[in-house]
Structure 1
Amino acid sequence: MTTATHPTTRSVAVIGAGLAGTGAALALTRAGFRVDLYSDRTREALRDDVPATGTAILFGASRTADAEIIADRYADNPAAHFSAGAAGLAGDSSNSSDSTGVASFPASYTYEAQSVDARLRADDRLAAFLDLADTTGNRFLVDPVTPDSLDTIAGTHDLTLVATGKAGLADAFATDTDRTPYTGPQRHLLTVTATGLPSDHVFTGRTGGTQSDRLTDTDGNPANNSLLSLHEEGEVFAGPYLHKDGLASWVLLAWAKPGTATEQAFHSTSDAASALQTLKDLHHREFPDIADDIDRLQPVESDPHSWLKGAVTPRVRRPVGETASGHLVAALGDTAIAVDPIAGQGAQLGDRQVAALTAGLTAAASDGKEWDATLLTDLFERHWEDHGRAGVAVTSLFLGDPLYAEVAGAFFGNAGADPAYATGLFNLFSEPAPAITLRTAADVARYVDAFRKVTA
């Protein structure tokens, strides 16, 4: 990738050095702009002293946007990929071949998902940004930004992007109540990264066969697989995961519905070991078909931050705000659109916004146009129509929103007998746009027809 130049270089401040912030800083640097990247932590602390705030899994289509930001360093690492899944529904033996009481079905993907620790992805971007600093004059500034200092920063840059996540400086942007589907968290979260199983492990209790009988993608190639497990009080995702220290590992990401015993169990965790044990106990209680496999997992001893608990209030914010002195600031990543991670849309939306924003700002600068509120709003509206709206919709579907009750019933009720339903369901992680219009079982039937050839 090369770095462009502009006759009159415009300046950009990026606040926040997470995945979206470092991605924007790198992409805008390569587009030829002068960039100052602000962080409240050093590079080493960002990588080693904080938990990953999400799995940052890229499901298929979003990898194109990611490649526009940074070259893919992990394409040849099998520990970072999966392209099949095995779903399980607790308390229903209708599709179970044994007495576990777990209905299950495999799903072949039409794409390859890439699963890399968000801390490693962000560090890759920061490293590339720093490598260009000597020739661009761009800066990485370890300086916590307050509302007052944000005002000063915005007054000395042509554009200031706020990518600090879901709290703090996000208050500079009003909530878009028309696009925000909920007023509070819909799930409580518990996640932990663990080692002990190879990335190509076969969960024979769910898939049948032996360890040599791997699931396949839609081209018939043997594939690493993920797990999606649903029970009355929540959900669990498990998948191969490349840990920040280069370890082939597995990530467990679990959700608990508010007010349940599972939520209380999540609250009681205090470290990686207790988080992992809580999820092992949950599997023995709800998913005995894979519990013995999960028991083989162990905490990453070198990483005390390999776990996280909390809750997300899904929220869409207005894309442009003002500081106390009236300087414009623009929202980026989770600051702009915060979604529950249940459908894996957060990192994907961030990558897509960064790629499109960089292209839009570059085009405007080349045409001599101002980076004003109108332009920034227009660029966000395009992002919303192209990706944001769909990301919010598919998240609501997987959260079990009543709007999608018939849709969910159609997918899960038919996937065990018809592979097209299974593949179509998991394709929504990669290409969520159909979720905008899916409302009935008939809608789902028409949608999955497109997957019959690839699952035949």
Structure 2
Amino acid sequence: MRNILIVGAGQAGLQLALSLKAEGHQVTLMSARTPAEIRAGRPTSTQAMFDPALELERAYGLNHWDQAAPPIHGLHVMLAAPPGNLALQFTAPLDRPAYSTDQRIKFAQWLTEAEQAGVDVIYQPVSLSYLQALTPRYDLTIVAAGRGDLVEAFDRDPDRSPYTEPQRALAVAYVHGLAPDPAWPEPHVEFHAIPGLGELFVIPSLTTSGPCDILFWEAIPGGPLDVFENQPAENHLEITLGLIKENLPWFSERCGDVTLTDDQATIRGRFTPAVRKPVAHLPGGGIALGIGDIVISNDPITGQGSNTAAKAAAHYLQAILANGDKPFDEEWMTVTFESFWAAHGQAVTLWTNGMLQPLPPHAQQILGAASANQTVARRFAHGFEDPNDLLTWFADPQAAETYLRSV
């Protein structure tokens, strides 16, 4: 039995803590917020988790919301060109449904379960100096806190981080009252792309007050959609709906009865996507291994944040179990991260960074083909479950041409 410290109680940290405890290890988990504080706070993400990531939760009995959350049966992609005009659309079905559960529900319950399972949960923010004082007490220290001072302990990897400033301004509202799409009434993620301006995502979800939808604007900084930052929070929904009416009138027709799910149901912000070196060298000589957003922080445009974190937790778990009684030294930490990068992180990062730029001609041809060919549409949807597949055709012009000729 190893003695392991995990700092941060998000998707990666909680999933890893619970699965390590189930495997018989001694685990200490540091959380900056209690379950009650999480439930009473604002949403932390726009998560949509696809079946392969959910299966990793199910393997340890951690997925409790499949019967309560609306099943997401696929993607509905719509292209507005110019704004206000629908130029292209297609539906891309998933073989197995995805689900979105408000992390206020999920993380609060997982924290409670961690305490009940015997994880030593400590509710306290962790500074860099405090982390240094803690590490000698444990066989392994893992940092899963994607925000705050601890991020600075992990050096940015310039070879894997092409951006030096935010690529989107983010504005999120959890809402009740959105009318179903009459053309496809089953729950699905909607992707409304407005070239040169940004995107609106609509995600069926489960929140603290029941089933809902997430309205999520991704605005190109400085453009006409980037209007939330200096506005009062109470105007957030009004601004959201105004942008929809102006740019997506076919969708605005379904928003007549939309209201916020609760008085904390909006978030906004922007950040610079980055990949960081996996090992932090702490003042005084200690080392810590990063996981989740602290080492791979991608824009949410491809909906992969929670999925990548879940896959990272499962990958690190297997690496810890395989290490037996051997030391968790810097070489082991580096190998663990690099093998995860090769298996999952690289594909997600390359795809996500590419989607932040204007789509190249071959990608536009793929979307056009998907609007007329369900085989292409279904494979596009599968890429959200396994982004590695996208690198074999969607990301490469020659491979895309070969594939489109074959279907």
TM-score, normalisation: structure 1: 0.83
Q: Does 1:118 align with 2:103?
A: yes
Q: Does 1:142 align with 2:123?
A: yes
Q: Is the 2:15–2:310 contact (alpha carbons within 8 Å) kept by the matching residues of 1?
A: yes
- Structure 1 SS opposite 2:366: helix
Q: Does 1:15 align with 2:7?
A: yes
- Structure 2 SS opposite 1:261: coil
Quote the residue 1:290 is aligned against. Answer: 251
1:125-182 CA distance string (max 9 Å, x none): 212211112xxxx311122211111101112111111111144201111111111131
**Structure 1 residue 122 displacement after superposition:** 1.4
Q: Does 1:168 align with 2:158?
A: no
- Structure 2 SS opposite 1:144: coil
Q: Is the 2:78–2:192 contact (alpha carbons within 8 Å) kept by the matching residues of 1?
A: yes
Of all paired residues, the percent bearing the same amino acid is 26
Which structure 1 segments of 5+ residues have no match? 1-8, 94-98, 208-213, 216-222
Q: Is the 2:362–2:401 contact (alpha carbons within 8 Å) kept by the matching residues of 1?
A: no
Cα distance in 1 between the residues matched to 2:124 and 2:260: 33
> 1:176–1:258: structure 2 CA closer, same or farther, 3 Å change rule?
same
**Structure 1 residue 445 displacement after superposition:** 4.6
**Structure 1 residue 287 displacement after superposition:** 0.9
Q: Is the 1:66–1:352 contact (alpha carbons within 8 Å) kept by the matching residues of 2?
A: no
1:103-125 CA distance string (max 9 Å, x none): 32222223311111122221232
> 1:393–1:435: structure 2 CA closer, same or farther, 3 Å change rule?
farther
Cα distance in 1 between the residues matched to 2:370 and 2:388: 20
Quote the residue 1:5 is aligned against. Answer: none
Pick from 255, 267, 290: which aligns with 2:229? 267
- RMSD over equivalenced CA pairs, Å: 2.2
Quote the residue 1:235 is aligned against. Answer: 199
**Structure 1 residue 440 displacement after superposition:** 4.4
Cα distance in 1 between the residues matched to 2:122 and 2:134: 12
Cα distance in 1 between the residues matched to 2:257 and 2:402: 41
Which structure 2 segments of 5+ residues have no match? none
Range 228-237 or range 161-170, more displaced: 161-170
- Structure 1 SS opposite 2:217: strand
**Structure 1 residue 70 displacement after superposition:** 3.8
Cα distance in 2 between the residues matched to 1:69 and 1:373: 28
Quote the residue 1:394 is aligned against. Answer: 351
1:167-226 CA distance string (max 9 Å, x none): 4201111111111131121111001101113xxx5323xx3xxxxxx46xxxxxxx3222
Q: Is the 1:70–1:125 contact (alpha carbons within 8 Å) kept by the matching residues of 2?
A: no
* 1:440-455 alignment runs, 5 A limit: 440-447=396-403
Range 57-66 or range 436-445, more displaced: 436-445
**Structure 1 residue 449 displacement after superposition:** 7.9
Quote the residue 1:351 is aligned against. Answer: 310
1:398-441 CA distance string (max 9 Å, x none): 2125xx51343122332322233332322221111133354444
Cα distance in 2 between the residues matched to 1:327 and 1:407: 48
TM-score, normalisation: structure 2: 0.93
Q: Is the 2:175–2:214 contact (alpha carbons within 8 Å) kept by the matching residues of 1?
A: yes
Q: Does 1:435 align with 2:390?
A: yes
Quote the residue 2:279 is aligned against. Answer: 320
Pick from 72, 75, 78: which aligns with 1:85? 75
Cα distance in 2 between the residues matched to 1:332 and 1:13: 13
| Amino acid corresponding to residue 28 of structure 1 in structure 2 | L
Quote the residue 2:374 is aligned against. Answer: 419
Cα distance in 2 between the residues matched to 1:117 and 1:87: 23
- Structure 2 SS opposite 1:37: strand
Q: Does 1:247 align with 2:210?
A: yes
Q: Is the 1:69–1:355 contact (alpha carbons within 8 Å) kept by the matching residues of 2?
A: no
> 1:280–1:102: structure 2 CA closer, same or farther, 3 Å change rule?
farther
| Amino acid corresponding to residue 339 of structure 1 in structure 2 | N
> 1:278–1:411: structure 2 CA closer, same or farther, 3 Å change rule?
farther
Quote the residue 1:59 is aligned against. Answer: 50
1:366-403 CA distance string (max 9 Å, x none): xx2111111111111111011000110221232125xx
1:58-116 CA distance string (max 9 Å, x none): 12322222223443212223x432112322211369xxxxx954532222223311111
Count of matched residue pairs: 405
- Structure 2 SS opposite 1:248: strand
**Structure 1 residue 30 displacement after superposition:** 1.2
Q: Does 1:371 align with 2:363?
A: no
1:23-49 CA distance string (max 9 Å, x none): 222122112111111122222112212
> 1:270–1:18: structure 2 CA closer, same or farther, 3 Å change rule?
farther
Cα distance in 1 between the residues matched to 2:401 and 2:61: 38
Quote the residue 1:309 is aligned against. Answer: 268
**Structure 1 residue 20 displacement after superposition:** 1.9
Q: Is the 1:389–1:436 contact (alpha carbons within 8 Å) kept by the matching residues of 2?
A: no
- Structure 2 SS opposite 1:122: helix
